Structure 1
């Protein structure tokens, strides 16, 4: 178990080390029109991703970057442990689109239920996930806080190239020229499917406001049977602060950067009035009048 955790942290450190000396321009490559980081993604891996053999009992977690999916992974891992007493630690990077093309063969060895995380748009998911009707939990976060968190991640993570200013990052974010592309394109593709029976949407701000209630919803959606006491215990261990306190153990040196602040409303420290208005307008155009927009 400790060996697998070490391998996982090694994989994260390897990905970070690959960024050494990169400029922002060199960091991204385009695949089917969307920019991805060359440090963890490749065209070969995307081509091989179609060979991923999803299982019906896979637990699929989706979010745009910096919207809290690493937090969800910790919660789900605890739910699995609480109900099965088996600690699932995989040496693979948890995001299905990240890693080498051979990872999908190795993933066959991971016991069920597997956690499959992704930042991909709905239309880019491997077909087997949809065909097998695996349950998909989609996490959304206020795009303003997501953007600020993304900016700080870029400018705090060792070896990842930094943006010269918040204004530069904001412009790239709004134009979808950051890793994994546009927040709004991502939201629009998933918004079309939020009524699908195997999909549940959860909001980051709700996780922050009432974690116990959210953990209960997540457990019920994925079919975990827990007592109210167990739900409370998982929620207590899964507060953002508790996860952050263990981040170095779970994610190595990058842990404190992945789990930085986790607060709601941090965007107010960076956004200008004009930027605030620009994002409000874009949100209305893309999601106004939809269930997700509400």
Structure 2
């Protein structure tokens, strides 16, 4: 295992260790009105984040929790290694809001381009990202599968506090009382910026349907120029299953749980008819008739 992967896996193990013995209320704390997990975030780190300075060539990845961020981080790193022949050696947790307050000083030493990820709401992103015109890739997953994946993560990782039932989790998810807040608030805000020059929105589902096409689109957006053969090679190494097969090596004991199934439509295993209709109504209220709503193909992926 590469040193970077070992240290990264160790950082994940530390975070999981912190969650031992906590209950759900102790797991979350509120910062500026949004709930975050105490295991990887802190008020001190958010305050230190004010010292973060984005670079124009940063490769920024934004997603709501459990929408494919760890999968995309792998693809982005492979894209950089393949096209620039340079290996990223950062051992930091890639999510900029996660870790200790000193991480932002260490990040200044990282070579460009840096792959930086975040689950933060658009309004909470650091102003230097926009000032310096860093490009932002936003990955969305249909909300029903995102919710089910989120629930299983909580209830399958032994050290993380579990919800007593799916019904309990569903209620908290719909009310934005889960880590990183409301899926729908996140989506509504990004819909306003779907046509911004420095923003590319891609969906989990389109990547599952045609990964090579997605890799090509992402490469062009960030200004990388892989050959057709390189795109196929990255896609071959980067299928969800291929990444999952190496997850124990790259992400430690939590790896197989971070990359659980990766299938589209798993929501049907847990949603009741009433819950399905409740989310349909919420989606309609927040995203019905919008560009992002159309891009998510809700009628294709979220109808029974």
Range class of TM-score, shorter chain: over 0.9
- Cα deviation, residue 188, structure 1: 1.0
1:284 aligns with 2:276: no
Separation in structure 1 between the aligned mates of residue 215 and residue 71 of structure 2, nearest angstrom: 12
Report what 1:234 is aligned to: 234
Question: Separation in 1 of the partners of 2:49 and 2:190?
Answer: 19
Q: CA deviation at 1:4?
A: 2.6
Shift, 1:196, TM fit = 0.6
4+ runs of 1 displaced by more than 3 Å? Answer: none
Map 1:185-264 onto structure 2 (within 5 A): 185-264=185-264
Asked if the contact 1:66/1:146 (under 8 Å) is kept, the reply is yes
Asked whether the 8 Å contact 1:215–1:235 carries over to 2, the reply is yes
With 270-279 and 183-192 compared, the bigger mean Cα shift is at: 183-192
1:172-191 to structure 2, matched below 5 A, reads: 172-191=172-191
Per-residue deviation, residues 63-92 of structure 1 (Å, max 9, x unmatched): 000000110000001000101222213111
- 2:30 is aligned to 30
- Distance in 2 (CA, whole Å) between partners of 1:89 and 1:236 is 23
Aligned 1:1-294 pairs, distance under 5 A? 2-294=2-294
**Contact 1:50/1:127 (<8 A) preserved:** no
Q: Distance in 1 between matches of 2:71 and 2:54?
A: 23
- TM superposition score normalised by structure 1: 0.99
Cα shift at 1:285: 0.6
Query: Structure 1 unaligned runs (5+)?
Result: none
For structure 2, the 5+ residue unaligned runs are 295-304
1:137 deviation in Å? Answer: 0.3
1:50 Cα deviation from its structure 2 partner: 1.5
CA offsets 1:115-155 (integer angstroms, 9 cap, x no match)? 01000111000111111000000001000000000000000
For residue 249 of structure 1, report the CA deviation from its aligned partner.
Answer: 1.0
Q: Which residue of 1 aligns with 2:302?
A: none
Q: Give me the whole-angstrom Cα distance separating, in 1, the residues matched to 2:246 and 2:195.
A: 35
The DSSP-based 3-state class of the residue aligned with 1:292 is helix
TM-score, scaled relative to structure 2: 0.95
Cα drift, residue 162 of structure 1: 0.4
Task: Say how many residue pairs are matched.
Answer: 294
